[in-house]
Structure 1
Amino acid sequence: MKIIPAIDLMDGQVVRLVQGKPENKTVYSNNPQEIAKKWEKQGADMLHVVDLDATLQLGTNLKLIEQITKEISIPIQIAGGLRDESVIATALDFADRIVLGTLAFKEKNIVIKLGEKFGQERLVISADHVDGNVVINGWTSEAGISLLDAIRDYSKNKFQEFLITNVSRDGMLQGPDLQNLVVACAQNVNVIASGGISKPSDISDVKKCNAYGVILGKALYEGKITIEEAKKLA
């Protein structure tokens, strides 16, 4: 199982939000490159870099993310606000993978075409959800499709990479949503679990669900778990 630290960017800073709300922001660093190199050195398998400004339509950190990719050697997947084909093409020039959420559920045909052009393995479908119902637009509205149907629908179109976040668990340190994770992982696709990791035993629980990877966010930044601990359990 892959151990994947998150680097959430807002105004060029490394931050964490609680349940995706900008008013609940904690700043952890003014030097994202330094943080990226730190997680790489500690053994991270990949980095999950989120452009929160793009997600909330407040701006972009894409140039900064490109700079980060030049300073590390492990893979990077970019998430947040990737809703325009030209921006996606630019991101794929330097990122290994990109994560598509809102676009995946508003413009499915575009995403299928992007998969054919760039390779489905480079596009991760982000099925953020509340109680098993997918949400989009920075978690502000429902997509009208269930988590399970979303995975089945995209897997029929050769997509195998999925990122699953239970919004209500994000940044809450209350433990992962194992119930929905088990269902997702049973669909014979690669599932990255996100949200709720609070202690080392949570990593073991996620592994038992047969997840492909797990994202470490607030628990890592708050010192409740280390990458080394997570790697041993993964």
Structure 2
Amino acid sequence: MILYPAIDLKQGQCVRLAQGDMARATVFNNDPGEQARIFEAKGFECVHIVDLDGAFAGHARNSEAVELILSSIQIPAQLGGGIRDMNAVAYWLDRGVTRVILGTAAVKNPSFVREAARHYPGRVAVGIDARDGMVAVEGWAKTTTMSALDLGKSFEDAGVAAIVYTDIARDGLLQGLNMEATLALAEKVAIPVIASGGLASLDDVRRLLQPDCANLAGAIAGRALYDGRLDAAAALQMIRAARGANPADA
């Protein structure tokens, strides 16, 4: 299980939103590169970057900030937000992003996602952002009539590396992960699932390390890390200890 610290970018700043609402953004750091270095120094294995402006615009809007992050750290980074065509996928993978996350494109252009996954094995993930179980797109501004489960299952034969599943209703509110919905998805699709939205405390990390969560690939932490509610050192130590007890997961 990998714990990913989130760096969400809005106008070049590191922010956290409440329930995906751009009008409810809290700025936590004006220097994305510095924030990435802080996370690396704390011992995180990979950072999770989202170009929030890009998600709404449909194309990169925080390229300078993303490239600053990439040049500031040695650990891997995954990136989502506004990546809607092969040129954008190639651009970011060529510049050092380890894995791209395709969300809106998974609904609107699934053939592109399949092509990207074939062309870049292990480096393409699907982002499934759900509101009341239904997929939301375009920076969560629009809710579709497709269920998260149906979307996930539609890519089982596509070779995508992971699904990043976010419960929008909990994102940024520190109410805990929606374990019921996350595990239901993970149990019904063969693709590894990364949980996102609401992780708030060491209790959430402890829950992720229980046997019924063994098929989860990881979880993303945001606001709880920024405001100090989640002790990064304690969380990472807990995960390392669990790996030691289960060498196959290391």
- What secondary structure, in the 3-state scheme, does the structure 2 residue paired with 1:168 have? coil
Give the deviation of 1:189 after TM superposition. Answer: 2.4
CA distance in structure 1 between the aligned counterparts of 2:157 and 2:85, rounded to whole angstroms: 24
- What secondary structure, in the 3-state scheme, does the structure 2 residue paired with 1:163 have? strand
- What secondary structure, in the 3-state scheme, does the structure 2 residue paired with 1:5 have? strand
Give the deviation of 1:214 after TM superposition. Answer: 0.9
Other-structure match for 1:18:
18
Identity %: 34
- Describe the superposition over 1:81-138 as per-residue Cα deviations: whole angstroms up to 9, x where unpaired: 111322221011120001100001100011111111122x111100110122111111
Q: TM-score scaled by structure 1?
A: 0.95
Other-structure match for 2:91:
90
Other-structure match for 1:158:
159
Give the deviation of 1:185 after TM superposition. Answer: 2.0
Give the deviation of 1:159 after TM superposition. Answer: 2.1
1:132 maps to amino acid: G
- Describe the superposition over 1:153-195 as per-residue Cα deviations: whole angstroms up to 9, x where unpaired: 1112222411000000000111110111111221332111111
Other-structure match for 2:55:
55
Match of 2:113 among 101, 111, 135: 111
Contact 1:132 1:146 in 2 (8 A): yes
Other-structure match for 1:131:
132
Give the deviation of 1:78 after TM superposition. Answer: 0.5
CA distance in structure 1 between the aligned counterparts of 2:64 and 2:231, rounded to whole angstroms: 29
Contact 2:60 2:82 in 1 (8 A): no
Match of 2:104 among 96, 102, 105: 102
- What secondary structure, in the 3-state scheme, does the structure 2 residue paired with 1:155 have? coil
Other-structure match for 1:46:
46
The farther-off stretch of 94-103 and 204-213 is 204-213
The farther-off stretch of 143-152 and 100-109 is 143-152
Structure 2 residue ranges without an equivalent (≥5): 240-250
1:216 maps to amino acid: A
2:67 maps to amino acid: E
Give the deviation of 1:16 after TM superposition. Answer: 0.7
1:26 maps to amino acid: T
CA distance in structure 2 between the aligned counterparts of 1:207 and 1:184, rounded to whole angstroms: 17
Other-structure match for 1:231:
236
1:221 aligns with 2:222: no
Runs of 4+ in 1 over 4 A off after TM superposition: none
Q: What do you get for the CA RMSD once the two structures are aligned?
A: 1.4
For 1:31-42, what aligned pairs fall within 5 Å after superposition?
31-42=31-42
Contact 1:3 1:227 in 2 (8 A): no
Give the deviation of 1:147 after TM superposition. Answer: 1.4
Give the deviation of 1:64 after TM superposition. Answer: 2.3
Give the deviation of 1:59 after TM superposition. Answer: 6.1
Contact 1:164 1:181 in 2 (8 A): yes
Contact 2:118 2:158 in 1 (8 A): no
Contact 1:127 1:165 in 2 (8 A): yes
CA distance in structure 1 between the aligned counterparts of 2:60 and 2:138, rounded to whole angstroms: 15
2:223 maps to amino acid: K
